[in-house]
Amino acid sequence: MAEAAKATSAKSGQSTGPAAGVDKLSFEQALAELEAIVGNLERGSVPLEESIAMYERGEALKMRCDTLLKAAEARVETITRDADGRPSGTAPLDADG
């Protein structure tokens, strides 16, 4: 019956795989879910098949966090100071970017 539900979801365009909905999570949401998964896996109280699914979801969450961190890093600016040490503006974090 679960396979039929997956087939129906796939036909309707809904994703039910490990990465389902990950792309809509904020960094904080993805990190919290990833931490919960790690905790469950470390306890070892999850059946093998469920552990594999959780691991796959964790990988998707890790990639989401990495993507969001890289995007945030690209937006970070450093404060520039004039000769007297007063803030004078901003500059990109990476002078090459």
**pTM for the model:** 0.65
CA–CA separation, 61 vs 44, rounded Å?
20
Within a domain: 54? yes
- Check if the beta carbon of residue 30 is closer than 8 Å to that of residue 65: yes
Q: Name residues whose C-beta falls within 8 Å of residue 76's C-beta, 6 or more positions apart in sequence.
A: 93
What would the two tokens of residue 44 be? 């070892």
CA dihedral 49, 55, 61, 66 (to 10 degrees): -160
Cα separation, 39 vs 44, whole angstroms: 9
Average pLDDT, 10 consecutive residues per value, the chain (97 residues): 36 67 96 96 94 96 96 74 76 61
Domain that holds residue 69: 22-80
Confidence at residue 77, expressed as pLDDT on a 0 to 100 scale: 67
pLDDT recorded at residue 74: 72
| 53 within domain boundaries | yes
Question: What domain count does the chain have?
Answer: 1
CATH number of the domain that residue 57 is part of: 1.10.287
